[in-house]
Structure 1
Amino acid sequence: MPTLLKFLLVCLLLATAGSVQAQTPTAPSPAPATAQPAYDVNAATQAYLNTLTPAQKARSDAYFEGGYWLLLVEMLYAVGVAAVFLGLGLSRRIKAWTERLPQRFLRTLAYVAIYLLLAWVLSFPLTVYVGYFREHHYGLSNQSFGEWLGESLTSLALSVVFGSLLILALYAAVRRAGRTWWVWGAGIMGTFVAVGIFLGPVFISPLFNKSTPLPAGPVRAAILSMARANGVPADNVYLVDASRQSKRISANVSGIGSTIRVSLNDNLLRRCTPQEVQAVMGHELGHYVLNHIYELLLSFVMVIGTGFWLLDWMFVRLVARFGSRWGVADRADVGGLPLAVALLAVLTFLSTPIVNTIVRTNELEADVFGLNAARQPDGFAAIAMKLSEYRKIDPTPLEEALFFDHPSGHTRVYTAMRWKAEHLGDK
């Protein structure tokens, strides 16, 4: 998916957050350690890590480490797409065609929509490899090519509609505010993302998955009891049919205000024990109680504001040198959009460790909250091992700092065993 399309769709779906094949079951979790005065946290952690066979670990590592290279490839691919638009004159021809339209906002809107469509076409080879063939190679996808393509086209439609409106607003800010447009741009992006979070659970997510109330039973009762005990105003829990796309287990808290909801996917319910489900949902409730949605939104606005400032600084200097060759006059010229997207791709690549650290910190906070709320350390550790299907279980500290937007499996198991060690005498 082109960098900008993926960026826009992630904004719309911000409300939400390995490589072992489905036919290869995860090794069983070790039995809970016996409560003893001297509890070795490191030994208990290693006991869980040892349940992953060498073959499973090698496959998980290969999948996740491949993602490191994909970050670079996607950035370079975005620069290549920009080169096609600017270096081969495609942008100049689109702009010449849209100049026939009577009003400037129509010309801008038409250019943006055409650009997004053509960028998607140019990026399709990489998109289909990353989203379809690679996921099938590692046994993580349940979709046929037709199903995958249908959802990709739905994502494209969302990106073109909402992306065109967003970029139209950003160019209006550029034309009105000039050099300080990046301040207004950050506010526009924040507003756009907030609206996307609000609309996501009720208007966007249903385009991809069916969400139904979790049937009454012990699992639902335990989740709602935990929610009430922690001041979460949830009167229902939703079950999402994520198995139609993937084998991954997942849950989330989504929405803002009246649209907020707690959801878990059917893979989690089917593949995990009630204790493991409770551990996961305690984590998700932590995101709500700790106001992570709002905290991440504020952090996002700050990061994107800084990014827009840097983008403007680079854009102005490149246009001063190459603008006549590309047919780009200044920052307000919509013909410079491919350049802006390429620069955004470079900045996104460079900011990966910063963004990952912001998200990972919140995830670790939710981990600790979930352990205190659910009181299921072995359930949480077992879930961390199952997530090794698509996350490297035991990275180096540098790897975790640079590439992980969630705590690694090792960190999560250690956190759970440390909690357990401090509560061995609890009843």
Structure 2
Amino acid sequence: MKKWTFRALFAYILFGVMIYIYLFYLAGSGVPDVFRGTSADPTTFMSGKELLLSEEYSKIRNLLFFLSTPYEWLLYFFLLLFGVSRLLERWGGSISHFSIVQTAIYVFSFSFIVFVIQFPFRYLSYYFSSKYGISTQVFSSWMKDGMIDFWVNFVTMLIIVAVLYALMRRFQKRWWLFAWLLSVPFMIFMMFIKPVLIDPLYNDFYPLKDKELEQKILALADEANIPAEHVYEVDMSTKTNAMNAYVTGVGSNSRIVLWDTTLEQLNDEEILFIMAHEMGHYVEKHIYVGIGGYLLLTFIGLWLTAKIMNRTVRIHGDRLKITGVSSISSLPLILLITSILLFAASPLSNWASRYQEMRADRYAIELTVDKKAGVSSFQALTKAGLSQVHPPFLVKIFRYGHPTMLERIQMIEAYPVDHD
């Protein structure tokens, strides 16, 4: 145990030092010489102070991301190695003879421990976001959102864990296949209820107040053959200065949503370009492509998880205090394996996402025929979020689900349209 603990901590510290050196000393984020002075060059639309703050904040945010991910792996590993997971399982068994009650006790205790131990990283993210003027949320409101996160995640995890371990006990060799089959309707169900049950727990949603703008957006949707009757506005200015707009939900619960910060900081033409981008996802059926990709990755991921779990429990089960794969004390091992697999697959999934986002940008240009609004909206998004226009390579492939602002602005500038 001491040897494994030392090796794990040493590997984490060594990784932390290496990623710090990479982000703060080796990786460059400056705009290539060929783009200097263009509309993609942040010096043309950001002040010197904004540029400095952008570099500082981006480096800190990227460092927190790369440190928090293996920190999560370390947490799951130690919960197994020191017998905490096994202890929680026994505690649940001592309180009740009913399986669902034992599962609920375990999941709640496990979720609480993870929440507490991961709290420092969440707080640091909130602290620096507030310090650099991105977050406007007071601490009490931030903690309230954290508590909502905890309970939503607890209920969701309880359902998943109860079903998953029931499948493990019933189908010892093919549990991963049945879990994959059930994940499909569960995902669609969550997408359906999220806009009407989960999202309103965090923010107030209401019809767009600017009816003239709403009519412009609906007219754009009609031109794109998108069935839409309302546009929703969400009060985010009490929490952030960043901007966003999105389409969420499926079927009758689908919604077009604009943050009020977007409405305050962009003009109508820029907002219409952003909305045209979101409509591009709908027209090009990216939601169905995303579901297809999810099904493929989940199938491979669950199969690999089952294979790795069986081998790990067979060889190291005693050291990790796991009596069997179907024992609920193996949950940290499942989460550890899936988290590592998701991280390993993130360059591929992020690449696919960036491709779709670029396609949506092109659609927005063709629908609005307003390249100027596209460029200015992306410049405004960069300033509001203190984003890097040209992030380091590792940051891009592991963090960016959207093309870099350099790529997006240059694509708009070079894209041919009939009317500029």
TM-score range, shorter chain: 0.7 to 0.9
Q: Give the one of 194, 203, 206 matched to 1:200.
A: 194
Q: Identify which of 110, 114, 123 aligns with 2:109.
A: 114
Partner Cα separation in structure 1 for residue 52 and residue 186 of structure 2: 41
| Counterpart for residue 9 of structure 2 | none
Contact 2:38 2:44 in 1 (8 A): no
Aligned to 1:160: 154
CA contact (8 A) 1:41 1:417 kept: no
| Paired residues for 1:203-214 under 5 Å | 203-214=197-208
**Which residue in 2 is equivalent to 1:289?**
283
Instruction: Name the residue aligned to 1:20.
Output: none
Equivalent residue runs for 1:87-106 within 5 Å: 87-100=81-94, 101-106=96-101
* Offset of residue 417 of structure 1: 1.1
Superposed counterparts of 1:369-388, under 5 Å? 369-388=363-382
For 2:164, the equivalent position in structure 1 comes to 170
Aligned pairs for 1:7-46 (under 5 A) are: 45-46=39-40
Relative to structure 1, the CA distance from residue 42 to residue 66 in structure 2 (aligned partners, 3 Å threshold; closer, same or farther) is closer
For residue 270 of structure 1, report the CA deviation from its aligned partner: 0.4
CA distance in 2, matches of 1:55, 1:228: 42
* CA apart distance, 1:250: 0.5
Shift of 1:207: 0.6
AA aligned opposite 1:426: H
For the pair 1:135 / 2:129, whether they are aligned, the reply is yes
Counterparts in 2 of 1:162 and 1:47: CA distance versus 1, 3 Å = closer
Question: Does the CA contact (< 8 Å) of 2:369 and 2:419 recur in 1?
Answer: no
* Change beyond 3 A, Cα 1:353–1:44: same
2: CA distance between counterparts of 1:321 and 1:266?
54
Inter-CA distance 126–386: structure 2 relative to 1 (3 Å threshold): same
Normalised by the length of structure 1, the TM-score is 0.84
Asked if 2 retains the 8 angstrom alpha-carbon contact of 1:223 and 1:281, the reply is yes
Distance 1:69 1:44 in 2: 29
Cα shift at 1:41: 10
- Residue in 2 that maps onto 1:325: 319
Q: Secondary structure at the match of 1:215?
A: coil
Letter in 1 for 2:232: Y
- CA gap of 1:205–1:333, structure 2 versus 1, over 3 A, is same
- Tell me which residue corresponds to 2:391: 395
Q: Taking structure 1 as reference, are residues 206 and 164 closer, same or farther at Cα in structure 2, changes over 3 Å only?
A: same
Determine what percentage of the aligned residue pairs are the same residue.
24
Moved more, 41-50 or 310-319: 41-50
Q: Secondary structure at the match of 2:319?
A: helix
Q: What is the deviation of 1:402?
A: 4.0
Q: Taking structure 1 as reference, are residues 67 and 185 closer, same or farther at Cα in structure 2, changes over 3 Å only?
A: farther
CA-based RMSD of the aligned residues comes to: 2.3
Deviates more, 1:144-153 or 1:101-110: 101-110
User: 2:405 aligns to what?
Assistant: 409
Runs of 5+ unmatched residues, structure 2: 1-33
Offset at 1:83? 3.5
CA contact (8 A) 2:103 2:162 kept: yes
The residue identity in structure 2 corresponding to 1:114 is S
Residue 7 of structure 2 corresponds to none
Q: Secondary structure at the match of 1:336?
A: helix
User: Structure 1's 183 and 53: CA in aligned 2 closer, same or farther, altered over 3 A?
Assistant: farther
Aligned pairs, number: 384
| More displaced stretch, 256-265 vs 397-406 | 397-406
Is the contact between residue 377 and residue 416 of structure 1 (CA under 8 Å) also seen in structure 2? yes
Q: Distance in 2 between matches of 1:83 and 1:228?
A: 52
CA change 1:63–1:181 in 2 (3 A) is farther
For the Cα contact (< 8 Å) 1:359–1:405, is it kept in 2?
yes
* 1:164 Cα deviation after fit: 0.7
Q: Supply the distance in 2 between the matched residues of 1:250 and 1:376 (Cα, whole angstroms).
A: 19
Q: More relative contact order in 1 or in 2 (CA 8 Å, sep 6+)?
A: 1
User: Residue by residue, what CA displacement relative to the aligned partner does 1:223-276 show, whole Å, maximum 9, x if unpaired?
Assistant: 111001111111111111111211111000011000011111100100111111
Q: Any unmatched runs of 5+ in structure 1?
A: 1-39
Paired residue type of 1:391 = S
Whether 2:329 is the aligned partner of 1:307: answer no
TM-aligned CA deviation for residue 395 of structure 1: 3.2
Q: TM-score, normalised by structure 2?
A: 0.85
Distance 1:145 1:390, change over 3 A: same
Question: What corresponds to 1:251 in structure 2?
Answer: 245
User: 1:342 — aligned with what?
Assistant: 336
Residues 267-310 of structure 1 deviation map (CA, whole Å, 9 limit, x = unaligned): 01001111111110101111222222222122122222222222
Q: Secondary structure at the match of 1:253?
A: strand
Match of 2:180 among 175, 186, 189: 186
